[in-house]
């Protein structure tokens, strides 16, 4: 059992949990993920590690309450337990001294991006950070990112806060030379970032969290095409060269079970949760 030691609502329907997981906290590094199961009959879902405290033996992760399991997670409180948390899984991020880095985080993935920005700054990099969301109410960590970053840009799809959309990035890329770009967020956002950095020859790393089941390369559910080769996001990733990712295939695979996911969520809600 993994006891929840802290719960925080970052934005509407977006929550942050800190969980006592000594074995994972002792080994995890930025970029890795966990797979958790709430109870005996729960499904396995992957969540990117957004923080860890080796002294207090805890790990943290954020999630958006959109499906059955994440909605169930949203009901849990401090002191409750999660039956099974497996990790750390996946390869850790390559955190080195690259020079000038552009970090782009969108939606719930702003949370683990915060860990990336912190790690890049600690290794002596200059970091320009972009955080984005659909609307201003869904933005979070703005103050934390501002404190960590050399520069911070904020964007919303509707323009309710900061820039409207990511179109402004073209001006940022033209005005300054970047040695590396890191993107974490919705697939369509990462695809757009890759399309914008490619003409400038900026190595761009994306974090892929497709459909996963076992998280150890045995089920094959998380396969993605990278540079024309089949990769498993759980063991070959989750980070890949974004300029080589087949985003169209990735989007198609992610939508494969949407009807079943929606039905499962509705049935759970009708049953009273």
d(Cα 228, Cα 41) in Å, to the nearest integer? Answer: 37
pTM of the model: 0.92
If you average pLDDT over every residue of the chain, what do you get?
91
**pLDDT (tens digit, 9 = 90+) per residue, 161-202?**
999 999 999 999 999 999 999 999 999 999 999 999 999 999
CATH 2.40.280.10 fits 2-89, yes or no: no
Dihedrals phi, psi of 148, to nearest 5 degrees: -85, -30
**pLDDT (tens digit, 9 = 90+) per residue, 196-250?**
999 999 999 999 987 777 777 788 888 899 999 999 999 999 999 999 999 998 8
Q: Where are the domains of the chain?
A: 2-89, 93-207
Q: Rounded to the nearest 10 degrees, how much is the dihedral formed by the CA atoms of 95, 101, 106, 108? A: 30
CATH number of 93-207: 3.40.50.80
DSSP state letter for 92: P
Average pLDDT over residues 41-50: 88
| Helix, strand, coil % over all residues of the chain, rounded to 5 | 35, 35, 35
**pLDDT (tens digit, 9 = 90+) per residue, 63-83?**
999 888 899 999 999 999 999
Return the ∠ at Cα 250 (arms to 33 and 92), rounded to 5°.
25
Assign 44 a pLDDT band (cuts: 50, 70, 90): confident
- 107: exposed, middle or buried (C-beta count within 10 Å: 0-12, 13-18, 19+)? buried
């Amino acid at each position: 059992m993994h006891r929840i030691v802290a719960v925080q609502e970052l934005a509407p329907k977006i929550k942050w949990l800190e969980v006592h997981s000594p074995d994972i906290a002792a080994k995890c590094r930025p970029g890795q993920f966990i797979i958790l199961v709430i109870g005996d009959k729960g499904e396995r879902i992957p969540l990117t590690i957004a923080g860890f405290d080796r002294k207090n033996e805890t790990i943290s992760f954020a999630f958006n309450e959109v499906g059955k399991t994440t909605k169930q997670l949203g009901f849990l409180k401090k002191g409750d337990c999660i039956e099974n948390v497996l990790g750390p899984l996946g390869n850790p991020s390559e955190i080195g001294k690259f020079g000038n880095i552009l970090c782009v985080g969108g939606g719930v993935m702003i949370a683990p991006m915060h860990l990336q920005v912190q790690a890049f700054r600690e290794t002596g990099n200059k970091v320009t950070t972009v955080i984005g969301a659909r609307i201003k109410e869904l933005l979070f960590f703005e103050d934390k990112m501002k404190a960590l970053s050399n520069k911070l840009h904020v964007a919303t799809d509707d323009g309710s806060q900061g820039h409207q959309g990511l179109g402004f990035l073209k001006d940022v890329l033209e005005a300054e030379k970047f040695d590396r770009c890191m993107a974490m967020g919705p697939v369509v956002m990462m695809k757009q970032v890759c399309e914008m950095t490619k003409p400038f020859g900026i190595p761009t790393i994306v974090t892929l969290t497709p459909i996963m089941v076992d998280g150890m390369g045995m089920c094959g559910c998380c396969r993605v095409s990278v540079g024309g080769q089949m990769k498993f996001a759980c063991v070959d990733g989750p980070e890949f060269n974004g300029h080589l990712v087949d985003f169209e295939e990735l989007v198609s695979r992610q939508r494969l079970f949407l009807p079943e996911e929606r039905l499962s969520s509705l049935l759970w809600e009708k049953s009273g949760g």
